[in-house]
Structure 1
Amino acid sequence: MATLLRTPSAPPIPGRSLVLAPIDRREHFAYLRSRPDPAFLQYPAWAEVKTGWRGESVGWFDTNGTQVGAALVLYRKVPKLPLWFAYLPEGPVIDWDDHDIDRWLDPLLAHLRAQGVFTVRMGPAPAHRRWYGETVKDAVKRGLTHLDQVTPDEIDPVGATLANRLHTRGWRAAGSGGGDDAQPRYVFHLPMQGRGLDDIRAGMNQEWRRGLAKAEKSGVETTVGGPADLPQFFDLLRVTEARNGFRLGRTLEYYSRQYRVLNTEEPGRMRLYLARHQGRLLAAHTMLSVGNRVWYQTGASADQGREVRPSHALQWRMIRDAHARGIPIYDMRMVSPVIDADDRRFGVLRWKLGTGGHVVENMGEWEYALNGPLHRAFQLYLARGR
């Protein structure tokens, strides 16, 4: 079983206490840039994307004053009460391998309690389980309907150990893949490290290779757009939502703000890819990147022209661009753990499996109640909303 390597840029000395303190955006950004794999959701600009939340940057420091961790904390106020819900999306960025996890989390909880927080939710970075593509395909043939029924090919020892440590300290998993996690628990990774583009393409299934050949033969053109193209992207997104029977609940203003804010903090962080055929816009996808990580975020396509495979062409363009930058993994983001071939939710995973990648189950999001009665009332409120 493989283990993910996570080496802090400035490892704290084991056994020594850590101090948590607010930091400014410059310090926060600089620390994350020194790390190889922080999520885009932990950069300070994300607080500007999320309206209705207050953002704060905090850092962990060792006894020498060296910064060894960072987090973006989002606060949501309870109406009419001086109480807050705190959320660290796909964070904090700390050394999750440390056996003494208390020296990281205790200062965080003390800080949040002083801010009037009644519940905190976080998303630890370590993965939990992985299933290779062939394993998933074989499980579908055998009639299994959920990844929980399938023996994983890998169990990450860091994630498994951390889950036990959090549970014994009073943290509770917010969900088990059933929709309670705000960020995707199951994602799809296409590994690219040590592979040439010919190898990656050869590793795709016949449907994908035929789709790429069809798009190329038909003359589908792919380009990188700009903010002026976001309205067309959003129009296609609404068409996609209607066709597939789901709603992301985002507005054009949301995507415009996201594009502006993220690219202001770091030019090129959010890109809009466009696919046209004979002058018609047929598909548009967004891609996010920080450090050595890339995420395919949102895809949209028209009802017409699907026979020329514009989405295949766009994905291949995005894969090529990520590969040219030396990105080790192309993260295709969310998939459902449902593997029932007759279930509509399996469609996205089936399509992504064709690239030759694998499914990763993250640790998911974990909650800690700083005020038990208020936490329980909050859970009842959320349950009624669902």
Structure 2
Amino acid sequence: MSYHVKAITREEHLAFVTARPSVSHMQVPSWGDVKPDWRAESLGWFDGGGGLVGVGLVLLRPLPKLKRYLAYLPEGPVIDWAAADLERWLEPMLAYLKRRGAFSVKMGPPVVTRRWSAEAVKAAIADPQAGRLRDVAATAHEPQALDIADRLRRLGWQQTEPGGEDGFAAGQPRYVFQVSFAGRTLEEIQRDFNQQWRRNIKKAEKAGVTVVQGGYEDLPVFYDLYAETAERDRFIPRPLAYFQRMWTVLRAEDENRMRLYLAQHEGGILAAATMLTVGEHVWYSYGASTSRKREVQPNNAIQWRMMCDAHELGAGVYDFRGITDTLDEGNHLLGLLRFKAGTGGQAVEYLGEWDYPLNKVLHKALDVYMSRR
């Protein structure tokens, strides 16, 4: 017998998420408010006794001139992915979304497939024969993930292939970098940093770099650095209003959901970053810095302060978010991978995003449209 899926209140959704140690920040009710171009809805999975056993934040994007929607559950839903009868969870979700007018469903199972230690990542970067991290032998495998992927395919789900010259897939990153905090002191965490990281933290302290928490009024300062970073690193920046909305709606749900950090030196702001928290999972979300005074190492200083605060909040993992899996020396994102690997954490591959075409014609039309953007 399948579970029953229906809309639930934000309060029910938040209570379920709060009772769990780790849920993606994209699966909390307030994340829907960050995305005004989508219609957000909280879904609940109920067992035969009427108990709430799973939740999901679904974002519905309408097709122009049609009352049909792309349904997207970023890094979700929050269900028992290890269940042998996965169809009991997914089929009622598809049926519900089809009734809501969805022509296609996209989701990102929060399931880890492989891990690479920092040493393995560094060795791969140094190996001229290694083209992509995905082709390098992993330090650890999660065999259950392969079984989940096979079951999804049998159920008719289609895996979105990681694409793009930088190794990032459309949607959410498949490859991230994480540092485990569980059961470790700050001294033990820093002991795993490479020599360059530890030296840079001390250099920033000696130079007089101070890191403080900012407020809503500091978001324009963050944004100026972010726009400079976007131009330097060749990506399209989000507007300031996006970050202002993020701050307002996420902190209305939980004052620790989003924080802003600023690295100061001699009266100027050299770097800024946002941090997101859900339960025991903390994410470095957006970072920004100027090209000036890089020698005082503000980026290492700001990350270390954020990691210290995350540890104080009881974090089990500090998540640096997306990394490129491209190991080409000519790729401008490789430096960011080196920077994150210097913390001694591990590169993590997730199962990626999966599509289910409820209407194959409209789904194909969307694929063609997206490929031409």
* TM, length-normalised to structure 2: 0.97
Equivalent of residue 187 in structure 2, options 183, 186, 198: 198
2:131 equivalent in structure 1: 145
Contact persistence 1:31–1:70 (CA under 8 A): yes
Please tell me whether the aligned partners of residues 288 and 295 of structure 1 are also in contact (alpha carbons under 8 angstroms). Answer: yes
TM-superposed deviation, 1:218: 0.6
Q: Within the alignment, does 1:285 sit opposite 2:270 as a pair?
A: no
Q: CA deviation at 1:18?
A: 1.1
Structure 1 residue aligned with 2:45: 60
Q: Does 1:115 align with 2:100?
A: yes
CA distance in 1: counterparts of 2:318 and 2:163, whole angstroms: 22
Deviation at 1:177, TM superposition (A): 5.0
* Larger mean Cα displacement after TM superposition, 106-115 or 155-164: 155-164
Question: Which of 148, 151, 162 in structure 2 is aligned with 1:162?
Answer: 148
Alpha-carbon contact 2:323-2:336 (below 8 Å) kept: yes
- Which residue of the partner structure matches residue 347 of structure 2? 359
Distance in 2 (CA, whole Å) between partners of 1:192 and 1:74 is: 31
SS in 2 for 1:124: coil
Say whether 1:51 aligns with 2:36. yes
Aligned-partner Cα distance in 2 for 1:140–1:282:
29
Say if 1:177 and 1:186, in contact at 8 Å, map to a contact too. Answer: no
User: 2:285–2:320: 8 Å Cα contact kept in structure 1?
Assistant: yes
1:111-148 per-position Cα deviation (integer Å, ceiling 9, x unaligned): 01111111000010111111111112112222112112
**Contact 2:283 2:320 survives alignment (8 Å):** yes
2:308 equivalent to 1:337: no
Is the aligned partner of 1:72 residue 2:67?
A: no
Superposed CA deviations along residues 183-203 of structure 1, whole A, max 9, x for unmatched, are 111100011222221222121
Unmatched segments (≥5 aa) in structure 1: 1-15
**Matched residue type, 1:284:** A
Q: In structure 1, what is the Cα distance between the partners aligned to 2:370 and 2:277?
A: 32
Distance in 1, matches of 2:241 and 2:144, equals 39
- Quote the residue 2:229 is aligned against: 240
Report the CA distance between 1:46 and its aligned residue: 1.0
TM-score normalised per structure 1: 0.93
Contact 1:126/1:158 (8 A) holds in 2: no
- Distance in 1 (alpha carbons) for counterparts of 2:63 and 2:287: 34
Aligned equivalent of 2:112: 127
Q: Which runs of 5+ in 2 are unaligned?
A: none
| 1:378 has 2:369 as partner | no
Paired letter, 1:315: Q
Equivalent-residue separation in structure 2 for 1:43 and 1:26 (angstroms): 10
In the TM superposition, residue 374 of structure 1 has moved relative to its aligned partner by: 1.1
Matched, 1:311 2:296: no
User: What SS class does the counterpart of residue 339 from structure 2 fall into?
Assistant: helix
Aligned partner of 1:8 in structure 2 is none
Per-residue Cα deviation, 1:189-236 (whole angstroms, up to 9, x for no partner)? 011222221222121111111110100101101101100000000000
The aligned residue for residue 4 of structure 1 is: none
Distance 2:134 2:344 in 1: 21
Distance, in Å, in 1 between the alignment partners of 2:220 and 2:367 is 37
Return the offset for 1:276: 0.3
**What is the CA distance between 1:180 and its match in structure 2?**
3.6
Partner of 2:283: 295
Identity value in percent: 47
* Residues 194/336 of structure 1: CA separation in 2 closer, same or farther (3 Å cut): same
Displacement of 1:152 in angstroms is 0.8
Q: Which amino acid in structure 2 is aligned with residue 80 of structure 1?
A: K
Amino acid at match of 2:122: K
